[in-house]
Amino acid sequence: MVRSLSETSATMLRRCLLPASLLGASLVAAGCGGTALQTRADQVQEQPEEAPQPISARAMDSFTAAAALYQQGKAVDKVEYDRVEEQLRRTLSCDPRCARAQFNLGVLYEEQGKLAEAESAYLKTLELNPKYMDALANLGQIYLKRGDRQEALQAFEKVVEIDPFNAAARNSLASVHRENAARLQAEGSKEAAQKSFADAVENVRKVLAADPENLQAYNNLVLIYYELGKHDLAMLVAMSALKFKKPDAAIHNSLGLVLLKLNKVTEATAQFQNALKIDASYAPAHLNLGAISLNYRDFKGAYEQFKAALPSMPDDPELILSLGVAARGLGNLDEAEQRYRRVLELVPDAQNAFYNLGVLYQEHWNKPTEALEAFRNFLRVASAKKEEEKKRLEDVRSRVDGLVQLMKIMEEQERQKREAPKGPPEETEDAGIEPAAGAGSGEAKGGEAGGAEAPAAGGGAGAVEAAAAATGAEGAGAAEPAPAP
């Protein structure tokens, strides 16, 4: 039987968000957190018959050509997606019943970040073959990515109900339960968190019972122990997985997270780089290296890493915000503004985008009116549960007070200009005396009150420390990474 493209395609990029010590970047674990695990690559199993009758020989030949074209591109890290898509569509024109071709259209779209098109392709796959469980599992992942967790869980549970040994769905369920446990743990619901962790482990156990070398299950287990704070166990599981000698970017990435938690930054960096040696386009490793670069204020290195992740995550708010902060650090202020504005298009209440816009307008462009609007929007949506969030909230309130005073001074200056007598002033004996508190001195004081010296997190560094996750789920300036809700 012809192998599906999905059996050789790259791992789907899924993440749990972890705050960096400085700006908008967050450390990323593939296959965890707010989105779930891949359903492809080696985990995909043979599918049931695609239609009541076999598909045509012409369609099969066309699909074989599409698979070969895709695999050739993967071998050199340069898939010609347009050509592969064209060949798959040719397959469907030969035989519209070919569910496997329709499924792999979804895979192609998903790898390019075209989630709406991918969703449509998977739904069409299920119309052709309602038992095509990998299509349903991938739909669950898309639901997770757009925040519909309940619909995603229903999809995964339906998959394992029909196909109890579907490793992809089991791993995805483990990932979702793990993230739920982390959220409940952060909220103080220890008993509920323990149950969710147990559910996650149970799904991993069932995967490993059928496939003792399933690296995705191992990766899930690493992240479960990571969340539980059992870092030595997490490292042990990761090292055990590496002994299988199967190249897996996700395992190296997760091991990097564990090492980073243990303050072994150099070793962690090496693991993220190892992940990229396996898959040069692996977005989580790019994001993590970018976050580390930002911790050292290496804006150029951070920008390059974030830019490398962008093709796989073109609409990811956190990544776009991080790019904006890195661009600002490089002096590319117009691009920074564009990135922040894009985040707000995607997440209208993104508090850190408002904060960074405010700092940009206040400290770099001297636009007090725009800065005041941005900071007031921040106050409108801000939460302050963590200590660093409370400090930022106080910083913004201080900035707002300074900007309000500055605006009053500017308005008074304008009023004085309008009311000043026209024409040259009469000469007096006091004409050369400096004014005690003229317009110039008032303006200088106002600018100083709201400018770079304002009591943010280190003056000009305030924007850097403010970026964090674009959704505002995590604060900025955290000394150690911790999973975001």
338: domain CATH number? Answer: 1.25.40.10
Question: How many C-alpha atoms does 245 have within 13 Å on its Cβ side?
Answer: 0
Answer yes or no: is 364 within a domain: yes
Answer yes or no: is 304 within a domain: no
Token pair of 446 as six digits: 């106002």
What is the pLDDT, as a whole number, of residue 265? 96
How many whole angstroms separate alpha carbon 277 and alpha carbon 248? 10
Long-range contacts of 343-350 (CB under 8 A, 24+ apart): 343/317, 343/470, 346/315, 346/317, 346/320, 346/470, 347/317, 347/470, 347/471, 349/381, 349/472, 350/317, 350/321, 350/381, 350/470, 350/471, 350/472
The answer to whether the CB of 3 falls within 8 A of the CB of 300 is no
Answer yes or no: is 12 within a domain: no
What is the pLDDT, as a whole number, of residue 388? 82
What is the pLDDT, as a whole number, of residue 386? 76
Answer yes or no: is 234 within a domain: no
Give start and end residues of each alpha helix (H) in 163-296.
167-186, 190-210, 215-227, 231-242, 249-261, 265-278, 283-295
Answer yes or no: is 347 within a domain: yes
Longest dimension (CA), the chain: 107
Answer yes or no: is 200 within a domain: no
Residue 302 φ/ψ, nearest 5 degrees: -65, -45
Answer yes or no: is 341 within a domain: yes
Q: What total number of domains does the chain contain?
A: 1
The answer to whether the CB of 453 falls within 8 A of the CB of 459 is yes
C-alpha of 400 from chain center: 30
Instruction: Give every residue of the chain whose pLDDT is below 70, as ranges.
Output: 1-53, 423-485
The answer to whether the CB of 368 falls within 8 A of the CB of 479 is no
Answer yes or no: is 257 within a domain: no
Taking the CA atoms of residue 117, residue 281, residue 228 and residue 24 in that order, the dihedral angle to the nearest 10 degrees is -90
What is the pLDDT, as a whole number, of residue 198? 93
Geometric angle at alpha carbon 468, from 325 and 306, rounded to 5°: 50
Domain that includes residue 382, residue range: 314-416+440-485
- Encoded amino acid at 396, one letter: V
What is the full DSSP assignment across 119-156? Answer: HHHHHHHHHH-TT-HHHHHHHHHHHHHTT-HHHHHHHH
Distances (CA, A) of 281 to 111, 228, 424: 11, 29, 68
How many whole angstroms separate alpha carbon 5 and alpha carbon 40? 9
Given the structure tokens 């307008």, which residue do they identify?
A: 361
pTM: 0.68
C-alpha of 95 from chain center: 38
Question: How many C-alpha atoms does 443 have within 13 Å on its Cβ side?
Answer: 8
- Encoded amino acid at 92, one letter: L
